[in-house]
Chain A
Amino acid sequence: MTSVLYDVPGPRARRRSRILSVVTGLVVAGVLAFAIVQLAQAGQLDAERWLIFNDPLIWQALLRGLWIVVQSAITAAALAILLGVVFALLRQSELRVVRVPTTVVLEFFRGMPVLLMMLFIYLMFPIGAYWSVVAALTVYNGAIIGEALRSGMLALPKGQREAGLAIGLRPLQNRLLIEFPQAFRNMLPIIVAQLVVLIKDTALGTVVGQVGLVKEGELLAEYLGRSTYYFPLFVVMVTMYLLLNLAVSTLARFLARRRNQSGTATAAPTGGPGGAATVAPLEGGAAVAGAST
């Protein structure tokens, strides 16, 4: 990606790089070996500890937890995007009395831990742990998505707004019909990346109420014996979260790439510094490689 930082390696550099590669490989292998030895000495790798996963009941419990994660994440994501749109529109209102309080509320929601919000929604409203988690995730991520959409709208060329107003659209119509669709498209990678954060934060439901995958895992560990079975259950839980998040992350990257391609085609890439920059070094790198061979 940043191959412009160094030449196509010659024989000496290749040798040095190979030596470094071997050293790195050894270090990584050493760390892994150390971990495995530690695990084996503690008996964590004994076959019978992992045989619990032959039991469909174990999977039933874990998948039930995973389903709660997926369900609450989808609900909170949909609501958070809707709320984000509302926040973004209110935050840019023509009226001071709307704009200023919205700004204060957004800062308030963005500036505190989502865990704190979960706990206090749980304590203040009689809606149960599940909906407390969903509500906190919605409000917190809604505020963040709202800010992303707003900066997306600000990044649009001014002409978009002027042209809309000139043909007689009302300000709100213009926001909704002209600016919002473009901002949403430009900010889609950031929004999807935020959804990964949202999925990860579902794990916090364990702290507040007694919901989610991690809670199911803890209950199983409690029931089967923590010292023996917590580690295998932990490995499975981490893997489940990883697979779920990697799928969503891959989607985010795919969307970012697609946006970059269309961005260079229409010549005006908007948005953050990463967007335009990731394309440029690639071209530069190819040019350097071409010149030196």
Chain B
Amino acid sequence: MNVIFDNIDTFLRGFGGTLTLLGLTTLFALPFGLLLAAMRVSPVASLRATSTVYVEVLRNTPLLLVFTFFSVIITYISGALPFQVAAVLALTIYTAPFFAEAIRSGINGVPVGQAEAARSIGMTFGQTLGLVILPQAVRSVVPPLINVIIALTKNTSVAGAFFIFELFNVGREVANANGNAVVAVFLGVAFFYLIITVPLGQLADHIERRVAVRR
């Protein structure tokens, strides 16, 4: 266990790197996902189609290849991006469809009568969605959104393979330097991931239970 305390500075900086990626990506991907979800349920066929194709393609592409594109391939097309920008861009583009699907399932979960009532008093699509459906969907949408954020936390580790200083990279470097303490390093890195993901998971469970009781 000494290996962790000896390198605690490195671990904490890596933890900071992971949190930065997590924060920036959530900041950009959440609004993007909301836009995709709104397009997905809109009356305009071409908006629906665009969103559907984007979501389906990105959800079925490995994150590693998305990273390969923005960190490596793009160098041969329009010039290199800074690594941090490339990482946040790749994570945002990959995560937004998952946010969109979580939001869409929340929209679908609102009882049909709510939309019918809103429609029958003459509200437009935008009013129905913005004033009636989304405020109710938010409640049931929060647990799946948290689950996407948990998945995102774990996905930030891929950035470590693309020149970003974060937890996975710290683990790899420290393990390489301390070949005799690999297990301790592994448990140390896992610990830092778990103090993000486990509380988030419990929060999601808690909210899910509360919403279930109220419905």
Chain A interfacial positions (CB closer than 8 Å to B):
1-2, 4-7, 9, 13, 17, 20-21, 24-25, 28, 38-39, 42, 44, 107-108, 110-116, 119-120, 123-124, 196, 200-204, 206-207, 214, 226-227, 230-231, 234, 237-238, 241-242, 245-246, 249, 273-274, 277-278, 280-281, 283-284, 288
Q: Are B140 and A273 in contact (CB under 8 A)?
A: yes
CB distance from A292 to the nearest CB of B (A): 10
In the bound complex, CA of A2 to CA of B112 (Å): 9
**Taking the complex as formed, is B146 at the interface, i.e. its CB lies under 8 A from any CB of chain A?**
no
Known: A39-B77, A115-B168, A242-B57. A207 touches B154 (CB 8 A): no
Contact present for A238 and B125 (CB under 8 Å): no
- CB of A288 within 8 A of CB of B77, answer no
Within 8 A of A (CB), among B181-207: 182-183, 185-186, 189-190, 193-194, 197-198, 201
CB-CB contacts of B70-103 with A at 8 A, as 1s and 0s?
0011001110000000000000000000000000
Which residue of the partner chain, among A4, A113, A230, A245, contacts B168 with CB atoms under 8 Å? A113
A16 to chain B, nearest CB (A): 8
Asked whether, in the complex, the Cβ of A112 is within 8 Å of the Cβ of B78, the reply is no
Across the interface, which residues of A come within 8 angstroms of B172, CB to CB? 119
Q: How near does chain A come to B165, taking the closest CB pair, in angstroms?
A: 15
State whether B44 touches A234 (Cβ < 8 A): no
Given A111-B198, A204-B158, A237-B65: A38 in contact with B77 (beta carbons within 8 A) = yes
* A227 in contact with B119 (CB, 8 Å): no
* Complex alpha-carbon distance, A159 and B28, angstroms: 47
Distance in angstroms between the alpha carbons of A44 and B74 in the assembled complex: 11
Q: Do residues A2 and B108 form an inter-chain contact, with CB atoms below 8 A? A: yes
B69 close to A (CB within 8 Å):
yes
Residue of A nearest to B186 (CB): A120
Contact (Cβ within 8 A) B105 A273: yes
Nearest-CB residue, chain A, relative to B185: A120
- A25 in contact with B61 (CB, 8 Å): no
Q: Is the CB of A115 within 8 A of B157?
A: yes
Query: Does B7 make an interface contact (CB < 8 A)?
Result: no
Q: Which residue of A lies closest to B162 (CB)?
A: A207
Chain A residues whose C-beta falls within 8 Å of the C-beta of B154 in the assembled complex: 111-114
16 new A-B pairs (CB below 8 Å) besides A214-B68, A277-B108?
A: A2-B107, A6-B128, A25-B46, A39-B77, A111-B193, A111-B198, A112-B193, A113-B156, A114-B154, A115-B160, A115-B168, A119-B171, A202-B62, A207-B161, A214-B64, A278-B108
CA separation between A196 and B107, bound complex, in Å? 24
| Interface residue from B41, B44, B65, B158 paired with A5 (Cβ < 8 Å) | B41
Partner of B77, one of A28, A44, A206, A241: A44
**Given A115-B168, A119-B172, A284-B116, do A5 and B133 touch, yes or no (CB 8 Å)?**
yes
| Cβ contacts under 8 Å, B194 to chain A | 107-108, 111-112
CA distance A4 to B107 in the complex (A): 11
Task: State which of A1, A24, A115, A214 has its C-beta within 8 Å of the C-beta of B47.
Answer: A24
**Nearest-CB residue, chain B, relative to A234:** B73
Chain B residues lying within 8 Å of A238, measured Cβ to Cβ, are: 61, 65
Distance of A105 from chain B, by nearest CB (Å): 12
The answer on a CB contact under 8 Å between A231 and B190 is no
A116 touches B76 (CB 8 A): no
Question: Which residues from 46 to 66 on chain B have a C-beta closer than 8 Å to any C-beta of chain A?
Answer: 46-47, 50, 56-57, 59-65
Q: Would you give the shortest CB distance from B200 to chain A, in whole angstroms?
A: 9
A273:B109 contact, CB within 8 angstroms: yes
A223 to chain B, nearest CB (A): 16
